[in-house]
Amino acid sequence: MNIMSIENITKSYGVKTLIDNFAFGLHQGEKIGIIGVNGTGKSTLLKILAGKETPETGQVVKGNHVRIEYLAQDPEFDPEATVIEQVFKSDAKEIVLLREYEQLLAILSGSYDEKLGEKLLAYQGEIDRLHLWDLESEAKATLSKLGIQDITLKMKQLSGGQRKRVALASALITPSELLILDEPTNHLDNDMIDKLETILNARKEAVVMITHDRYFLDRVTNRILEIDRGRLFSYDGNYSYFLEQKMERIQLESASEQKRQNLLRKELAWVKRGAKARTTKQKARLDRFEALSNQQGVQMQQQVDIALGASRLGRKIIEFHNVSKSFGEKVIMSDFTYTLAKTDRIGIIGPNGIGKTTLMRMITGELVVDSGTIEIGETVRIGYFSQDNAHMNENMRAIDYISEVAQIVETTNKEVITASQLCERFLFDGHMQYSRIGDLSGGERRRLHLLRVLMSAPNVLLLDEPTNDLDIETLRRLEDYLDSYAGIVITVSHDRYFLDRVCNKIFGYEGNGYIRVYTGNYQEYMEFFAQHKQQVELFAQEQTIKTAKPVQIREKQANKLTYQERKEKETIDDEIEVLELANADLDEQIVVHAVDYKKIQVLMAEKAKLEAALEAKYERWEYLQERE
């Protein structure tokens, strides 16, 4: 069933036409991935579909009952709202209903009003009819899957990545017929991306997304829309099928262009012989030559040209000797020792917040180790492609930002070119070079940052989340460049394809400061981890004991369970279950007696006592588990 029709829309910014006469339809249940080089209008297209921007010509027609939920690349948020309040900020009727019900319930708990009581009862009936009682539980479960555990925190207390994940959770739980996601996999670790794949694959409603995660595209999408040279191409199938079909399309276009060029050569030879337009036949051939000459040939897609070398690297590179690092009670690295080899292509993986970027910043000297040493060879020249663009002055022109490193550079084939020419090879034309950095798209800024890092000829390349905001074509070029790069690569990435394609070693953060050095790519490491999960977990527990304070160890050894406590441990699960059932029964009674203020007061008092008892049992359960 068609849910939206896009009819010949056009959109320009200044002199640049981003969307030129695009036309396609969206159908129920489709999972669509939009791909293309940064700056070609992918995010703009999403905004038009979401109704956030309007096309200059053409129109977007959607069904009367089609609701759209949109996750922006940089979502807005209320800094004073708690996590759960932000999740329920949507104006979808279901979310509004739940929000108003909670607000009304809060008013009635202070003073009873008969009319408000009747209104509350009507709300309850509507919530029952729409089956919304489980929506809050679903929101909490989704937040948990995305690594957000404390829903009482205010949004201003969260990191940028955490805020994006809260916005993603809100988009996922808000009822809609069309879900539009701009870079949903950014700021998600590999485990979270796997969970997001499961959520979207189970979704019956349509999804349109921009993502540069090629494994994600392959596993979730059933249609690809590609923006290429100002045109829109549609491919039914996942990312692998798209690659096959695109190769065929390029071959056909090349063959067509070759035929046109051959015809032009023949016509040109005939014209040069001095043909005169005396006969109808001769006039027709001249007209055909004119038409062929004016016909626009196939334009090849512009591609980033990375042809920058690395400095010479000496025998001594980087050596970690018994390095440890903690932040308070949190152990980031414990007694880590490793010597880098010239052939190393290292991928650093682990959950968000475990300390992957900390390792990078210790190498650069931004952070100091707590104990041990990091020795860096004299010939080492580090290029650090950081995770964000905070260091970039948005008021600076792009060409000035690049020229700060060098006015002239030498390419891998010994060609000497200017900074401006190098910018053109990274798809920054004359107009863009003199644009403010703040006026560039997120992807264009990342590409400019990458250019600045590479033009300094580093021989140790630190890439912190390089795949965030870089388009797939640029990533392909970067991967191809790294194949012949004469230096060391250390990368933090959640892009599983990039890790498989580039890395030959994995630093796996397995908890409690332990880093496993594994020879192989990401997929091979994950297969090892799955096969030896139990041993890995036991080893992590041993590391916890090793890094614990001696006093804590002695206390744990001294605190053995008594006979009475062992008996208590055998029955406490059943006791907790009884209390949980009683609590659930009270919740039902509160709903039934919502208009009876006096009864509600009694029930709420009982519930407070019951929850206190339940909390005490939970704490006791944890105590007994720890003592075991």
Q: What is the CATH number of the domain that holds 604?
A: 1.10.287
Q: Could you tell me which of 186, 522, 184, 189 has the C-alpha nearest to residue 346?
A: 522
Same domain as 496, residue 585: no
How confident is the model at residue 425, as a pLDDT? 83
The verdict on 331 and 406 lying in the same domain is yes
Q: Do 142 and 219 fall within a single domain?
A: yes
β-sheet with 505-509: strand ranges across: 382-385, 460-464, 488-492, 345-349, 505-509, 515-519
Average pLDDT estimate for 541-558? 47
Evaluate whether residue 373 is within a structural domain. yes
For residues 518 and 574, state if they share a domain. no
Largest CA distance in the chain: 117
Do 421 and 563 sit in the same domain of this protein? Answer: no
What is the DSSP code string of 498-564?
HHHHH-SEEEEE-STT-EEEEES-HHHHHHHHHHTHHHHHHHHHHHHHHHS-HHHHHHHHH-PPPHH
Select from 242, 276, 301 the last residue of a domain.
242
Let me know whether 488 and 590 are in one domain: no
Measured in whole angstroms, the distance separating CA 58 from the mean position of its chain's CA atoms is 31
Classify residue 617: in a domain, yes or no: yes
Q: Where does the pLDDT of residue 534 fall: very low under 50, low under 70, confident under 90, or very high at 90 and above?
A: low
Instruction: Band the pLDDT of 44: cuts 50, 70, 90.
Output: very high
| Domain total in the chain | 3
pLDDT at 550: 43
d(CA 330, CA 371) in angstroms, rounded, equals: 15
Please identify, among 522, 550, 568, the residue that sits at the C-terminal boundary of a domain. Answer: 522
Lowest mean pLDDT among 147-151, 211-215, 500-504: 147-151
Residue 588: φ, ψ to 5°: -65, -40
Over residues 308-336, mean pLDDT: 90
In DSSP notation, 273-340 reads TT--TTSHHHHHHHHHHHHHHHS--PPPPP-----B------S--EEEEEEEEEETTEEEEEEEEEE-
Q: What is the pLDDT of residues 394-425, one digit of tens each?
A: 999 999 999 998 888 888 778 888 889 888 88
Higher pLDDT, 134 or 499: 499
- Residue 297 in any domain: the answer is no
**C-beta of residue 361 within 8 angstroms of C-beta of residue 421:** no
Q: Which residues fall within 8 angstroms of residue 542, CB to CB, at 6 or more apart? A: none
Q: Is the pLDDT at 549 greater than 50, yes or no?
A: no
Give domain status of residue 528, yes or no.
no
Report residue 544's pLDDT band, with 50, 70 and 90 as the boundaries. low
Phi/psi-derived region of residue 473, left when phi > 0, alpha when psi is between -120 and 50, beta in every other case: alpha
pLDDT in tens, 325-334: 998 888 999 9
The span from the CA of 500 to the CA of 224, in Å, is: 23
Alpha helices in 111-238 (DSSP H): 114-130, 135-145, 160-173, 190-202, 214-220
What is the spatial distance between Cα 109 and Cα 399, in angstroms, rounded to a whole number?
63
280 and 291 Cβ atoms separated by less than 8 Å:
no
Q: Residues near 516 by Cβ (< 8 Å), separated by ≥ 6?
A: 506, 507, 508, 510, 536
- Three-class SS of residue 110? helix
Tell me what pLDDT residue 277 has.
47
Q: How far is CA 220 from the centre of its chain?
A: 14
In a domain, 336, yes or no: yes
Average pLDDT over residues 336-341: 94
Instruction: Quote the DSSP letter at residue 436.
Output: B
- Quick: pLDDT tens for 174-228: 889 999 999 999 888 888 898 899 999 999 999 999 999 999 999 999 999 999 8
- Would you tell me how many other CB atoms lie within 10 Å of the CB of residue 37? 23
Do residues 563 and 514 both lie within one domain? no
Confidence of residue 554 (pLDDT cuts 50, 70, 90): very low
Shared-domain flag, residues 403 and 515? yes
Q: Is residue 536 part of a domain?
A: no
Its domain, for residue 401, covers 318-522
Q: Are the C-beta atoms of residues 500 and 523 closer than 8 Å to each other?
A: yes
User: Taking 60 as the threshold, does the pLDDT of residue 296 lie above it?
Assistant: no
**pLDDT of 56:** 92
Comparing C-alpha atoms, which of 508, 495, 499 is closest to residue 355? Answer: 508
* Residue 284, C-beta contacts closer than 8 angstroms, at least 6 positions apart: none
CB 26 within 8 A of CB 51: no
Spatial strand order in the sheet of 16-27: 16-27, 2-13, 57-62
* Cα 210 from Cα 216, distance rounded (Å): 11
Tell me the pLDDT band of 551, cut-offs 50, 70 and 90: very low
pLDDT exceeds cutoff 70 at 309: yes
What is the side-by-side strand order in the sheet with 330-339? 330-339, 318-327, 371-376
Q: Say if residue 487 is in the same domain as residue 589.
A: no
471, 478 Cβ separation under 8 angstroms: no
pLDDT at residue 518, as a whole number: 92
Q: Write out pLDDT tens, residues 72-105.
A: 988 888 898 888 888 888 888 888 888 788 778 7
Q: Are 339 and 320 in contact (CB under 8 A)?
A: yes
- Provide mean pLDDT across the span 45-63: 93
- 242, 277, 295 — which closes off a domain? 242
- In Å, how far are 155, 166, 396, 446 from 440, measured between CA atoms? 27, 26, 11, 10
Top mean-pLDDT range of 218-232, 416-430, 535-549, 554-568: 218-232
Query: For 514-533, what is the mean pLDDT?
Result: 87
Q: Using the predicted structure, report yes or no on whether residue 552 has a pLDDT greater than 50.
A: no
On whether the CB atoms of residues 363 and 318 are closer than 8 A, the answer is yes
Is the per-residue pLDDT at 140 higher than 60?
Answer: yes
User: Nearest 5 degrees, angle CA 449-CA 499-CA 148?
Assistant: 80
Kindly indicate the confidence band of residue 274, based on its pLDDT and cuts at 50, 70 and 90. Answer: low
DSSP bridge pairs for 233: 226
Strand partners, 32: 208, 223
**Mean of the per-residue pLDDT values for the chain?**
83
Q: What is the CA radius of gyration of the chain?
A: 31
How confident is the model over 562-616, as pLDDT tens digits? 666 677 787 888 888 888 788 778 777 776 766 565 676 677 778 777 777 777 7
507 and 603 part of one domain = no
Q: Are residues 158 and 74 in the same domain?
A: yes
Do 369 and 362 meet the contact criterion of CB atoms below 8 Å apart?
Answer: yes
Residue 267: inside a domain? no
CATH assignment at residue 167? 3.40.50.300
Residues in the chain: 628
Supply the pLDDT for residue 253: 77
Give the pLDDT confidence score for residue 600 in this predicted structure: 67
Q: Is 586 found in the same domain as 473?
A: no
User: 172 in a domain, yes or no?
Assistant: yes
At 557 the pLDDT is 42
The residues facing 320 across adjacent strands are: 338, 374
